[in-house]
Every structure is written in C-alpha cells, then in structure tokens.
Structure 1
Amino acid sequence: MLQMNNVPFRIQSIRSASAAPQKDHELRIIYIANGGGAYYEQNRLVKTGGDSLFFLHNPTPGRVEISEESQGQVYSFTHEFIQHIPLVHELSMFGAEHMSSAILVGSPVKQEVELILQKISAEYESERHYRLDIIRDYLKIIVRHISRSMHQQQQSWSASRKTGMVRQFLQLLDQQYTALKKVTHYAEKLHVTSNHLNTTLKDITGITASEHIRRRVISEAKLLALHRENYSMKEIAYHLGFEDKSHFSKYFKNASGKNFTNYKKELAMEA
C-alpha cells in the first residue's frame, strides 16, 4: 500500500475520514454504501439514502452530513495532486453558484464513477509501477464524466472569460510545464499581462499562476522520486526540463522548502 506521509492521495472508511482534519483545497469523493446522509444545496437540506456518491472540492465543514451507522469509503486528493486538472476548478465554481461545496452524483454517471473508483482502489492497494500516474488519469476521467453530466447546468458560467482563461492556462500548464516555467510565457500565449493572469487565477482557484507553475513542477518531481526510485537527480532534472541538476536542486528547495536529496532519503526510509 502507498505510504501516506508524502503521497497526496488516500482511501479511508467514512468513520476514519470523519475524524481526520480536512486539508485546504482538498478534493473528496464520498461513497455511502449503506446508511444515509444529507447535503446542503441553496441552504436547503437534501437527504439521501445509502448507495450515494458525493463530489466535494475545497469542502466547507458541515455541508455534507453522514449518519453514524453509514458505511462506505472516502477518496481524498490533495491540491498538489489535482491542481493541474482544469475541470476540478469548474466543478468547484458550479458548487459555489449553488451555495454548496457538494455535488451529488446521479445515475447513470454514478455507476460509471463507481467502476472507476474500484480501479483506483485496486491501484492504491498494489505495488505496481506508475500507480500514481494511473490513479491521476482515472481521476481525470471521473471529473470529465461528472462535468459532462452537468453540461447544461454549467452553460451559465462555463463560457465566462475568466473561467475560459483558467481552463486554457491549466491545460497549457499540464502540457508544457517542463518547458515553460515563467508566468510571462503563459501570459504571452493567452494574450494577457502576467499581472492579469496571476490575479485571475488567484480569484478563481485561490492561488496565483506562478504558484500553480511551482506546484505542478514540484508535485511531478515528488511523484518521480516516489515511484521511480532508480532515477538519479540528474535524470529527474532532465525529465522536468532543467538544464542541470544544480538548477533543479535550487528550484526544488526554494519552492518546497526541502532539499531534494534529503526528500528522497525520507522516501527510502518509509518504503
């Protein structure tokens, strides 16, 4: 099973997750197998029975209530793991418009998502190579399924200029973070100023464009270090687009506050 001190993803029982502190900007998928629950939508309490599925991004405490007898699982993804998936932010804004941080996933999408969650669980329990990459890809598919099912409801906000810019930036970042590491690079491609891009990202996602870039590079470096232990620092630096390992080492220390060599040693001790 994955060691959780450095891995930005975990699966817990509903009871264990309820007792754990919520992290900022965390995404949670809650599956209630039996029992019951409720969530707030437009300040109205909506009750649900067993076999319910909730999607929450940056959830507000108390927006979802789960009965004590309920059983199920909670899939938690930190901001570091999901921050480069554009549709996560769109679904978060959809929830905000409806005065709720929770989205109840309905049929037939729920069945599709449940099947993918089973695959995520299998990867989580495995010791196979690239399992974190695969889990992240599965999460992208889940988010796309949910977004597509809500397409008609999203039309009022998804076409806005700000939302479109965020989507374009995050897509560019996911494709070109190894080559482009400055806000000016992305601002030029989006035909806006760096200040405007930073401000827009801050307003919608909670962090600036420059912080998104740093987190994207660092999260990938940590994933490479985690499950490709035989990669040297030089090889990881090359994979991430740095000219040499000293440049990468300085970037990692400035962005994460940790020395990369010491970080890899910590991983080796936990393995």
Structure 2
Amino acid sequence: MMPEKTSLDSFYAHKFSETPLLPPYEAGGFNVFRLTKLNEGASPAPYARYDFYKIMLIRGRHRCHYAHKSIEINGSTLLFFNPAMPYRFERLDKESTGFFCVFKDLFYIDHLRNGIQDIDMFKRDGRHEFPLSEDQDKEVESFFEKMLHERQSDYRFKYDLLRNHVFELLHFAMKIQPGETLYHHPDTNARLTSIFTEMLERQFPIESTDQFLELRSAIDFAEKLSVHVNHLNRAVKKTTGKTTTEHISQRIAAEATALLKHSDWNISEISDRLGFSNPSHFAYFFKKQTKVTPTSVRSV
C-alpha cells in the first residue's frame, strides 16, 4: 500500500542522528539547515507525501521522483516541494552541499490572503525546479545564510524576519521566469477552473484500500459545483486550453502511474480504487493516456 503522510517529526528522525532545535508552535514548524548537517547513515527517503513545505538549494547530481515523472538535476538547483505532491529525492553524488528550510501552513496562515499553496512554485502544475548560474547560486546561498543566522538569534520578531527571507526566495524564483506573477488574479472562468482543479487534486493521492475515486467525469464535477457541465467545460477550456475530461484523465493516469511504481497493490486493486469497472477497462484507458501498458510500468 502507499505509505502514510510523513510528519515533520518523522522527517527529523529519519534525517538527523540527533533531534535538531525545534521551533515554537507559533513559528509554524519553520526550520533551516545546511545539508552537511544531515545524518550520513540515513537511508534514502521513501516515496511519500509530507505534511510540510520544503525549499532546497542543492548542488551536484540528483534524481527527483514525482507521481508521474522522474527528473535528473545537475549543478546548483533551487527546488520547491509541497504537502500535496508525493515525491522521493535521490542523491546520485556521494557528497552534496546546500541548504533547505521547512515550514507548515501555519507559518503563513495569518500573512497571506489566499495561502502559500496558491503561489506558483507550490502548485502541482507549477514549476518546481530552477537551475542556477554561479552568481544565482551565491545569491540564493546568501538568503539561506541569513536564515541560519537569524534562526539562532534572540530577536523578538525573528520569525517575521525569517518569513521575509523565505519570501525573498520565492520572489527570486519568480524573477527567473520573466513575465510571470507571484499570484494569479482570476476572472470568473479562471476562478471556476481553480475550484475545479482544487476539487480534482483533493481526491489524491490514493493512500489506502478504503479510499475510492468519487469524481471521475465532467458531469460529476459540474453537479458538485452546481453549474451546468457546458459552462464548466467552456471555463476550463478557455482558461487552460484543455478540456475538463483531459484534466481528469491526465490526473487519473498520473495517480495510476504512481500506484504502479510505488505501491504493492496488484493491478486489479489499483483499477478498483480509481473507479474502473474491471482491469481491462483500466488497461485500455492507461495505454491510451500514457502509450504504455500498466504491466510495463509495474515491471520497471
């Protein structure tokens, strides 16, 4: 079965030989580290969904496994991870240097109108990897050095200052992509599309044998949203260029790929959890979406 969501405490226990200095509750779980402080004897982290956000500057060769894809990174890279996106990070070089910070929603809950999850780098379909030049690496390193320094200080408002340093990183990443904005200010169609996307994502990941996919068609979502299906289809198509059905099918295929790669469920069980009447229908759907069979993905 798929692993349960990994907590911040479990993450610390896996990554550190000694429990690091823990922040107070009101700090929203914020912490910052050099990668050299990691527990060298720890095994690679499993594929899992974590209950915190993570921003990492890492140097060297690595591979990151998401639900439906694996990417290799080389050199200096700025990475963003969110609680809705299961992943596994794999070192390909024995020695890695860099920094990372972690925090929960509470860190920003009173400071952002729409929440940290609406920032592009933390959206499922946003950009999460940013290769850095030598000068960019130095600038990002300076942000983390300021965090490390402030984390140890006795300044009364240090977590406000640390929050600002995290925002510096977010703005830095956005500056690498000229023409994009930190937030999207949606019109009516975009707002409806955003709600549809959130409802779609809320169904994933499938983590237990008691969990079944409930909303599988454009009509299902339209009824839940109390709008006509044609209105939903027009809004989604105008906003994204894809149909509602394409979004649903691609997300189901991505979840199917994750379950085939990272769970011990058989294909029949995966088919059932994703709402297919029988495994042959699932196999037909999966091959149509991915051009490969479920068996071939399972055997990799």
TM-score (structure 1 length as normaliser): 0.47
Q: Which structure's residues are more often helix, by fraction? A: 1
In our comparison, the structure showing a higher alpha carbon Rg is: 2
